[in-house]
Structure 1
Amino acid sequence: MKPAAPSAPFALGTLSAPGQAPFPALVTPEQRAADLRTALGDPALTARAVFERWDEVQPRLRALAADPEAAWQPLDGLTVHAPVEPRQVFQSGANYRQHVIDLEVAHRAPDDPRTVEEARTEIAAIMDRRAAEDLPYVFIGLPSAITGPYDDVLLPAWAEQPDWELELAAVIGRPAYRVPVEEALDHIAGYTIANDLTDRATVFRRDMKAIGTDWLRSKNAPGFTPLGPWIVPAESVTDPGELRVTLKLNGETMQDESTKDMIFGVARMVSYASQAAQLLPGDLVLTGSPAGNGMHWGRLLRDGDVMEGSITGLGVQRTRCVGESA
């Protein structure tokens, strides 16, 4: 797929020319890219290192984006990789009200005596209680699951129910440890798109139900987190709580929801995660997936499927599923 340029004044990505190593890049709406190793005078610069120096380099990036004399090269012909290699990935579960209700209804036991409407009403009350108690649900993902925004996604032969979960991801620009909600957004450098694939069949342990969820197996196969294409600076995202999250499967819209439906906003998720762990520059905080997953539609991923995911102002990723058994 030919990569589309960002709509923001500039964005960050990781690109490569044929036969060459990937490099951190600044990309503009004019379909052009600048190698940040050259622009910032650091031949060993990586995308993650850009975020480690975020406060220092951000003004220089703004100036570079407006410089017609910079060493620009056309975006067309360059390969787009995952925009950053984080050290840590913080993932959020059960953070979209309608999504949680849909999943709970889909996972009801066959002998559940409640009607669908009774179940939805009961689950909605639980969501209201969670919001009132102010307890987000955050767990850890593996960086090795990340792949590029246009790469093929391998569906492992053992994955019986692979599903999609398009999500808004925040990228950390300053170390964050025990930060209050009011200061959390100051630690975010930018935003990008993540598709947090999940094998529904292995989410819950069948051998020991008391253990609960098994996120290692269900979410962390290589390539299960397509990321990007771009990281758009936070200064260009007016309100992360009012973005449209849309996923199309083979051209048919499956997810199409506003981030307004999040139970806990971006600032709350970052603050909550930072109470237990130190968030580092380049780390990702995924904010959960809206309604419209495969379990809701009764249609899971299979060999040959094409997913196209977009979030307002952040670009479009397009990935094709390849079944290992096929």
Structure 2
Amino acid sequence: MKLLTIQTANGQRLGLLTEHGVLDVEEALSVLPADGQAAPRTVHAAIEGGESALQALQRLADRAAASPEAKAKAFKPEADVRFGPCVPNPGKIICVGLNYRKHAEETNAPIPEYPILFNKFNNTLNGHGGDVPLPKVSSKVDYEAELVVVIGRSAKYVTRDEALGRVFGYCAVNDVSARDLQLRTPQWLLGKSCDGFSPLGPYLVTADEVGDPNDLDIKLTLNGEVRQQSNTADMIFRVDEIVSYISQHMTLHPGDIILTGTPEGVVLGLPEAEQVWLKDGDVCTVEIEKLGALTNRFVKEA
């Protein structure tokens, strides 16, 4: 199942991608009578509700498709949807740095012995199609295509064998990075946490549709030119290992997200004479197998 956030003038709504278009769950519930277990009304409620919540969403979508009134009101073409971040309110945004072998090599960094963890904040969240501001305080903004793990069940001290069972689903992110700010000090947080620096989406795809997260093609294009092209198989620490490792140190809760690192091909990895940083009007698309394509435009900060 592919969940998404519909951004409206009155706030965010839960959407579901179907063969009939995007189902606006709130609109469907306003037309159709109750049917057993109520369908979740938010992305977070869907994550917390697990399989029973997803079943209720599927029933709602089927009923809406069968009702002429509901079908006319609740489904809309995807092209007409203004997307919000597909996980709009994560409790934690945990990031893994230098987690692709070839990326570590291109930046002349040693292969890490343990996952390198840092965090971002909710101010960085952005959606598919949203503009990403280029901060006035940075002249070296870079892109990073990454796979995101979305936690579905609380996890503390879980083993690697248990880890994927705690995952709700996956999505794509562009982990935008202001390199001059990031490398100003040994702590990377400043260069990672500018407003809008985590476009997330377009969809939150449930784990059953994704299968093995450690074997997904991942690509980023800049203005149509392929800059990053790899596979999650190149990750130094695999998804199950990352979830297990983090859970040894903090409790992961439903809706927490983990950004799992980026492959080679970033601007930072080029020889200094060839480094051309993101500029006003640039368009990046992150595409991950089974997860869709996330596109954002970079704009000069007002």
Q: Establish whether TM, by shorter chain, passes 0.5.
A: yes
Residues 1:41 and 2:54 aligned together:
no
Between the aligned partners of 2:6 and 2:39, the Cα distance in structure 1 is 16
**1:141-181 deviation line (CA, Å, top 9, x unaligned):** 11221111110000101112110011000111111111111
State whether residues 170 and 284 of structure 1, in contact with CA within 8 Å, keep that contact through their aligned partners in structure 2: yes
Residues 1:198 and 2:177 aligned together:
yes
Matched with 2:21 is 31
Change over 3 Å in CA distance of 1:63–1:41 after alignment to 2: closer
Instruction: Spell out the pairing of 1:1-326 with structure 2 (5 A cutoff).
Output: 10-16=1-7, 19-35=9-25, 38=29, 41=38, 45-67=41-63, 68-69=65-66, 71=70, 72-76=74-78, 77-84=80-87, 85-104=89-108, 126-127=110-111, 130=112, 133=113, 135-205=114-184, 212-215=186-189, 217-297=190-270, 298-324=275-301
**1:227-250 deviation line (CA, Å, top 9, x unaligned):** 101001000012111111111101
Identical-pair percentage = 34
Give 1:205 shift: 3.5
| Structure 1 residue identity aligned to 2:187 | T
Give 1:301 shift: 0.7
Structure 1 SS opposite 2:107: helix
State whether residues 145 and 225 of structure 1, in contact with CA within 8 Å, keep that contact through their aligned partners in structure 2: yes
Give 1:32 shift: 3.2
Give 1:202 shift: 1.8
Give 1:62 shift: 4.1
| Structure 2 residue identity aligned to 1:182 | D
Structure 1 SS opposite 2:248: helix
Give 1:65 shift: 4.9
Deviates more, 1:298-307 or 1:72-81: 72-81
Structure 1 SS opposite 2:284: strand
Matched with 1:4 is none
Between the aligned partners of 1:20 and 1:78, the Cα distance in structure 2 is 14
Between the aligned partners of 2:276 and 2:21, the Cα distance in structure 1 is 36
Between the aligned partners of 2:7 and 2:193, the Cα distance in structure 1 is 25
**1:192-213 deviation line (CA, Å, top 9, x unaligned):** 011111111122335xxxxx22
State whether residues 220 and 226 of structure 2, in contact with CA within 8 Å, keep that contact through their aligned partners in structure 1: yes
Between the aligned partners of 1:138 and 1:202, the Cα distance in structure 2 is 17
Between the aligned partners of 1:29 and 1:318, the Cα distance in structure 2 is 22
Between the aligned partners of 1:171 and 1:97, the Cα distance in structure 2 is 23
Give 1:100 shift: 0.9
Give 1:21 shift: 2.9
- The count of aligned residue pairs is 283
- TM-score, structure 1 normalization: 0.81
Give 1:63 shift: 4.0
Structure 2 SS opposite 1:33: strand
Between the aligned partners of 2:26 and 2:258, the Cα distance in structure 1 is 24
Specify every segment of 5 or more residues in structure 2 that has no aligned partner in the other structure, as ranges: none
| Structure 1 residue identity aligned to 2:203 | W
Between the aligned partners of 1:299 and 1:239, the Cα distance in structure 2 is 35
Give 1:49 shift: 1.9
State whether residues 27 and 34 of structure 1, in contact with CA within 8 Å, keep that contact through their aligned partners in structure 2: no
Structure 1 SS opposite 2:202: coil
Give 1:64 shift: 4.3
State whether residues 26 and 36 of structure 1, in contact with CA within 8 Å, keep that contact through their aligned partners in structure 2: no
Between the aligned partners of 2:267 and 2:105, the Cα distance in structure 1 is 14
Give 1:255 shift: 0.5
Structure 2 SS opposite 1:22: strand
Superposed CA RMSD in Å reads: 2.1
Give 1:55 shift: 3.6
Specify every segment of 5 or more residues in structure 1 that has no aligned partner in the other structure, as ranges: 1-9, 105-122, 207-211
Between the aligned partners of 1:314 and 1:66, the Cα distance in structure 2 is 23
Give 1:58 shift: 2.6
